[in-house]
Amino acid sequence: MDITGKLVTALHEASKFKSWIKLIPQADAAEWSTYAQKDQFKLVANIVADNDLKPNGERRRQTIVKIEPLIPLAEFKQKDEWLYIFTIEDRIVKIGGSRTGLADRFASYLCGHHIPERAKSGDCSKTNGFVYNTFDFYLGLGAKIQMYGMKIPRTAMTVDILGTRVEIVAQTYHAYESCFLENYKKTYGRIPFLCDNGDPAYRA
């Protein structure tokens, strides 16, 4: 489907959540099939509309977007470091990293439901607000949204603390995220449309 047509623009303008929706210029978003690093990732989940109901017909959850894992649930919930990529209609829209696994990271995006325009507290980060509401908008248009992931190798070091040898597991996802963002920017001229800038310590 065309994610940049006049109808999409008109629906965006009519949305009461438009200040939280980022329109994706299709021509300026890299196509997944041509992304040079795609073989380092695997498809881990689909993002879909949450229409689940309780037996009494009420909505099961307040949030209206959910994730459907395509990998074993134990792996999806494991507290590992991951680098992940979201695509909308096979166009790359976000590269991100997680220290505590894929399930935890997506759960934080669901906090994007809590914007004032949805009569909520507004207690969510701007990143979560933009990602959640942009996903909701494009799902409403019938777009396919997918999540790809690369599990980051565990990095540990042993240090001496007060005469005791202690193994410390290093946090590395932010370095991977920044390096992949820099590589993307060098290749395509900008970072993906739903991204923040990465850690400046890892920029070339």
pLDDT digits (tens, 9 = 90+) for 138-195: 999 999 999 999 999 988 889 999 999 999 888 899 999 999 999 999 999 999 999 9
Beta bridge partners of 79: none
pTM of the model: 0.91
Q: Which long-range contacts (CB under 8 A, 24 or more apart) does 110-116 make?
A: 110/63, 110/65, 112/20, 113/62, 113/63, 113/64, 113/65, 115/17, 115/20
Residue 56 has pLDDT above 70, yes or no: yes
Domains of the chain: 6-199 (3.40.1440.50)
- Region 107-126: what's the mean pLDDT? 93
Asked whether the beta carbons of 84 and 105 are under 8 A apart, the reply is yes
Residue 204 is predicted with a pLDDT of 47
Residue 44 has pLDDT above 60, yes or no: yes
Where is average pLDDT lowest: 28-32, 43-47, 128-132, 170-174? 170-174
Q: How confident is residue 198, by pLDDT bands cut at 50, 70 and 90?
A: low
